[in-house]
A and B are shown apart, each in its own frame.
Chain A
Amino acid sequence: GAGVSQSPSNKVTEKGKDVELRCDPISGHTALYWYRQSLGQGLEFLIYFQGNSAPDKSGLPSDRFSAERTGGSVSTLTIQRTQQEDSAVYLCASSRLLGQGETQYFGPGTRLLVL
């Protein structure tokens, strides 16, 4: 079956521009996660959704980052006024349920480069 998909696969933007990254989870998965993978920082957790709700936004690096999920499916991660330090691979994952040990299935990521 279809896995997690993300778009675009690559994004190059100029410093100060806004970008939107999209994630399509596996059909029927109620939980969705965003991670960031960057040199020197490894894989860091950003935010998770249970349905359309994001109970904990403390993992977002700054208030320039926001995320939403609509219809319990697609999620968008928005970065406003991008900075060079935002350059990274943004990974999305989904799991069937939110709970202990639920396997998270990852998408291929969006590689963001801020010039």
Chain B
Amino acid sequence: AQSVTQPDIHITVSEGASLELRCNYSYGATPYLFWYVQSPGQGLQLLLKYFSGDTLVQGIKGFEAEFKRSQSSFNLRKPSVHWSDSAEYYCAVGPLRGNKLVFGAGTILRVKS
């Protein structure tokens, strides 16, 4: 069955530090991969997505992610975080029947100022 694992439930980093959020997926075919961010009381906002081609994907807000097929990973990175990046981050995989997304459990990021 398709699944997504985000091993880190909570991460705390200092403002200005680099960030990497881990995501591993289980999927039989070439996956479509997504990272969403959810601020408190808000819906999900798409940060970036991978379909094919370049394995390094650039997104909004200075985020990037790298698809590594050999490791079944799609880790999210940012060179220098800002306090406003504090939020919950979700990795998701598709396509599944009906284009539904399967989400990981999420990683709560806290940026200390």
Interface assignment of B36: CB less than 8 Å from any CB of chain A: yes
Determine the chain A residues whose CB is within 8 A of the CB of B105 once the complex forms.
42
Chain A residue numbers with a CB within 8 Å of B106 are 42-43
In the complex the two chains form, is A42's CB within 8 Å of B103's CB?
A: yes
Contact B45 A102 (CB under 8 A): no
CB-CB nearest in chain A for B100:
A45
Q: Which residues of A contact B41 (CB under 8 A)?
A: 108
**Do A56 and B98 form a contact, CB below 8 Å, given A42-B103, A43-B90?**
yes
- Mask: chain B, 47-81; 1 = CB below 8 Å from A; 0 = not: 00101000000000000000000000000000000
* Interface size classification for chain A: 20 to 34
Q: CA A46 – CA B1 in complex, angstroms?
A: 17
Q: Evaluate contact between B97 and A101: CB separation under 8 angstroms.
A: no
Interface residue? B17 (CB, 8 A): no
- Asked whether A80 is an interface residue with its Cβ less than 8 Å from the other chain, the reply is no
Q: Pick from A43, A95, A102, A108: contact of B103, CB below 8 A.
A: A43
Q: Which of B32, B44, B100, B102 contacts A101 (CB 8 A)?
A: B32
Instruction: Decide: B95 and A101 in contact? CB cutoff 8 A.
Output: yes
B46 at the interface (CB under 8 A from A): yes
A-B contact pairs, 6 of them (CB 8 A): A45-B100, A45-B101, A102-B99, A106-B44, A108-B41, A109-B43
